[in-house]
Structure 1
Amino acid sequence: MFKLNCILCGVILCIFPFSSALYFHIGETERKCFIEEIPDETTVIVNYKVELFDPKSGGFMPSSPGIGMHVEARDPDDKPILSRVYSSEGRISFTSQTPGEHVICLYSNSTSWFSGSQLRVHLDIQVGEHAIDYANVAHKEKLSEIQLRVRQLLDQVEQITKEQNYQRYREERFRQTSESTNQRVLWWSVAQTCILLVMGAWQMRHLKSFFEAKKLV
């Protein structure tokens, strides 16, 4: 029973980080970026909605059609995955090619339209099986409830496998970094020791020359 509970907790911890919803405030020239650790060959869907601050009511209202957001996504090698201007409300999708930290940035497509007004951006990032619309899948493939549930479980297992592979990849990268750091520290210590030995030999020779010049030896 205890082992089963540990496995369930591990599955929950693996699945939970793959979906996040929030909102934030930005100015018309401000840029907001988010970092998501994503395994390779994983689908990412970004849903967003922009609201404009209304000074009269002191709240936020739906934005006009002219307000849009420039959305950028870059992979761990800082190569652009997508970069284009979308409307005030949109849904963006891309698939990761390499594992690691992906950067998703949003900023307004105008610098004068809002006259310095503040924007509220609702953002929902879904990764892996959370990005799949299972209702649509069931409708297209005509799956029963049991078949759909099995499909969800298979997708979850596949996503967990990808996450485990990504964790092994991170562990390998960390090990390589640690070994490289330890090697550099070792060579630095060897270099310091060599410098001290050379300086000591030089000082001894200098003292010997000094004593010989003074006829003390």
Structure 2
Amino acid sequence: MFRLNLGLVLIILGLMLEIDIGESMRFELESGKTKCISEDINTNAMTVGKYTIVNPNEGYPLPDSHKLTVRVTSPYGNNYHLGDHVDSGTFAFTAVEGGDHTTCFWTIDQKPPVRITIDFDWKTGVAAKDWSMIAKKGQVETTELELKKLYDTVTSIHEEMFHLREREEEMQQLNRETNSKMATLSFFSLVVCLSVAGLQIWHLKTFFERKKLL
């Protein structure tokens, strides 16, 4: 039984070490268009991004038309990175504000339109750390390095749980406020309907009295 539990724990730890908190994608962008990608990043979390235009003619220089403008902003609009008229770039920062951080790509309008393929890799938290550099700099052994990864992964999961709990509390508060506003609106709607109905009855009664039908 002990061996079974130990094996289960090792499997769980192995899965945790494989967690990759980030996005790696390839997409196309037409000239004159804009594409934005958002990532929910916790406060004090490290994030690293890398973008590259894929050369449509491998072995030849990249065409002059294949240039990008890239901007990374915080939830409150603060700039973390700006690449103007570039074909590749990287960014790295520690988030001061928690929430959706946005990376926007756009190109100048061209005639005829040109489609650009972009490779974009965005990692956050544990996945953003360069473990090879940490191992080289600290001269740590493989086991110790794996333990460091595990510790950071557990810490990241723990922080994410607190973050989700805070978001849940915010949503519950929003629901309570919305329900309160809806109840108030329903009450006033009922008052208005009853008032209109009363006015209609009074108007009809007055009309029939004038016509001497009542």
Q: TM-score higher than 0.5 here?
A: yes
CA contact (8 A) 2:83 2:89 kept: no
Tell me whether 1:131 sits opposite 2:112 in the alignment: no
User: What is the deviation of 1:180?
Assistant: 2.1
Alpha carbons 2:40, 2:99 under 8 Å: kept = yes
The 5 A counterparts of 1:31-70 are 31-54=34-57, 63=62, 68-70=67-69
Cα distance, 1:71–1:100 mapped onto 2, change above 3 Å: same
Structure 2 unmatched ranges of 5 or more: none
| Alpha-carbon offset, residue 122 of structure 1 | 1.0
Distance 2:84 2:167 in 1: 33
What do the CA deviations read for 1:81-101 (whole angstroms, capped 9, x no partner)?
332337423221122222222
TM-score, with structure 1 as normaliser? 0.78
- Distance in 2 between residues matched to 1:44 and 1:17, nearest whole Å: 12
| Distance of 1:160 and 1:210 partners within structure 2 | 73
Structure 1 Cα separation of the partners of residues 113 and 138 of structure 2 = 49
Cα 1:43–1:189 shift into 2, 3 Å: same
SS at match of 1:78: coil
Structure 1: which 5+ residue stretches go unaligned? none
- When normalised by structure 2's length, the TM-score is 0.79
1:58-81 Cα shifts (integer Å, max 9, x gaps): x79663699643221122233333
Equivalence for 1:73: 72
Q: Using the alignment, how far apart are the partners of 1:148 and 1:15 within structure 2?
A: 14
Aligned to 1:140: 137
Of residues 40-49 and 198-207 in structure 1, the stretch that sits farther from structure 2 once superposed is: 198-207
Return the offset for 1:156: 0.7
SS, match of residue 77 in structure 2: coil
CA contact (8 A) 1:65 1:88 kept: no
Q: Which letter maps to 2:137?
A: K
CA-based RMSD of the aligned residues comes to 3.5
- Per mean C-alpha deviation after superposition, the further-off stretch among 151-160 and 114-123 is 114-123
Do the aligned residues in 2 keep the contact of 1:48 with 1:123 (CA within 8 Å)? yes
Distance apart, 1:201 and its partner CA: 2.6
In the TM superposition, what whole-angstrom CA distance separates every residue of 1:9-67 from its partner, at most 9, and x where no partner exists? 7995897462221211223333221111222211111112212333xxxx796636996
Do the aligned residues in 2 keep the contact of 1:53 with 1:118 (CA within 8 Å)? no
CA distance in structure 2 between the partners assigned to 1:50 and 1:27 by the alignment: 13
Answer yes or no: is the 8 Å Cα contact 2:81–2:91 preserved in 1: no
Report the equivalent of 1:193.
190
Which sits farther off after the overlay, 21-30 or 191-200? 21-30
Aligned partners of 1:102 and 1:136: how far apart in 2? Answer: 26
Percent identity at matched positions? 22
